[in-house]
């Protein structure tokens, strides 16, 4: 049986956890390692760290954060943001991360997915896809922290990332990010129908029902940030709710 994972996402900026809406108007949410420890004790299945300004500021993701987190938590975690080369990936994995997520670098140079999955294993390579809806049933891929619209079709890009060796997809709706209006389930279903690898739903969770809706639209994992950081809903509440709806969780 495959369990649905519940994953807190820690957007980081200059060594702090931040949260905004549609990637802007950031507010401070605390120390990333302390927050990671809390989620570890609360039963989160995995964590995702995304350095949301690394690519735009042409700055490498801090390896130090991965090291400190690995010392404090036992659950798997993914690091993304500003990762451009196989050497960057090697450093992050060596520091203790279980997976890396590639977004801008992969769109600009799709071969990096193939090279990285060949070297480190597809299970350690996540294709992070930030998207914006452009019309009914059509979404475009955004890069550089959501600031650049590539014009690339999101569903086609997901299929290509899978074919190049990505082990999973982290799918974020920029239209829904931080709004608490619910995940973009039309987008989610379009992508989960198009690929066989696991897809994590991201962007828009605001209440317990939203997590369930994502699951029935194909999500293998459900991700949230501010809801968990500011304790509006806990990881345990999400798991208990999903269990009550006969969705298998750990």
pLDDT in tens, 17-33: 886 665 566 777 788 99
Rounded Cα distance between 139 and 185, Å, is 12
**Residue 61's pLDDT band (boundaries 50, 70, 90)?**
low
Residues of the chain above pLDDT 90, percent: 80
Q: Check if 130 is active-site.
A: yes
Residue 216 falls inside a structural domain: yes
C-beta neighbour count of 94 within 10 angstroms = 12
Residue 236 falls inside a structural domain: yes
pLDDT value at 56 more than 90: no
Alpha-carbon separation of residue 49 from 60, 61, 87, 170, 247 (angstroms): 13, 10, 19, 12, 26
Domain of 24, CATH number, reads 3.20.20.70
pLDDT of residue 224: 96
Q: Which residue has the higher pLDDT, 51 or 170?
A: 170
Residue 249 falls inside a structural domain: no
Q: Of the listed 11, 51, 88, 177, which one is catalytic?
A: 11
pTM of this structure: 0.94
Q: Look at the chain and report how many structural domains it folds into.
A: 1
* Stretch (H or E) spanning 128: strand 125-135
Q: Of the listed 88, 130, 177, 184, which one is catalytic?
A: 130
**Across the chain, what does the average pLDDT equal?**
92
Residue 58 falls inside a structural domain: yes
Give tens-digit pLDDT for 35-52: 999 999 999 999 999 887
pLDDT of residue 200: 98
Phi, psi angles (nearest 5°) of residue 15: 80, 5
SS3 state at 8: strand
Domain encompassing residue 213: 5-244
Residue 143 falls inside a structural domain: yes
pLDDT mean over 128-155:
95
Percent of the chain as helix, strand, coil, to the nearest 5: 35, 30, 35
**Residue 226's pLDDT band (boundaries 50, 70, 90)?**
confident
Residue 250 falls inside a structural domain: no
């Amino acid at each position: 049986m495959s369990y649905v994972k519940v994953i807190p996402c820690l957007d980081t900026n200059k060594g702090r956890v931040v949260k905004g809406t549609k990637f802007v108007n950031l507010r401070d949410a605390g120390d990333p390692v302390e927050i990671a420890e809390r989620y570890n004790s609360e039963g989160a299945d995995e964590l995702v760290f995304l350095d949301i300004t690394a690519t735009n500021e042409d700055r490498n993701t801090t390896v130090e954060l991965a090291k400190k987190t690995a010392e404090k938590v036992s659950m798997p975690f993914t690091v993304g943001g500003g990762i451009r080369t196989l050497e960057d990936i090697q450093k992050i994995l060596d520091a203790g991360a279980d997976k890396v997520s590639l977004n801008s670098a992969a769109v600009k140079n799709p071969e990096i997915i193939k090279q990285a999955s060949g070297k480190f294993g597809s299970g350690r390579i996540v294709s992070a896809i930030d998207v914006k809806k452009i019309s009914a049933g059509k979404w475009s891929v955004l890069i550089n922290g959501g600031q650049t619209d590539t014009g690339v079709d999101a569903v086609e890009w997901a299929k290509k990332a899978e074919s190049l060796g990505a082990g999973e997809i982290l799918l974020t709706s920029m239209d829904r990010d931080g709004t608490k209006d619910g995940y973009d389930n039309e987008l989610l279903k379009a992508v989960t129908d198009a690929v066989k690898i696991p897809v994590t739903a991201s962007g828009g969770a605001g209440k317990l029902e939203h997590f369930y809706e994502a699951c029935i639209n194909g999500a293998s994992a459900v991700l949230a940030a501010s809801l968990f950081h500011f304790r509006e809903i806990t990881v345990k509440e999400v798991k208990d709710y999903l269990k009550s709806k006969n969705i298998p969780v750990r």
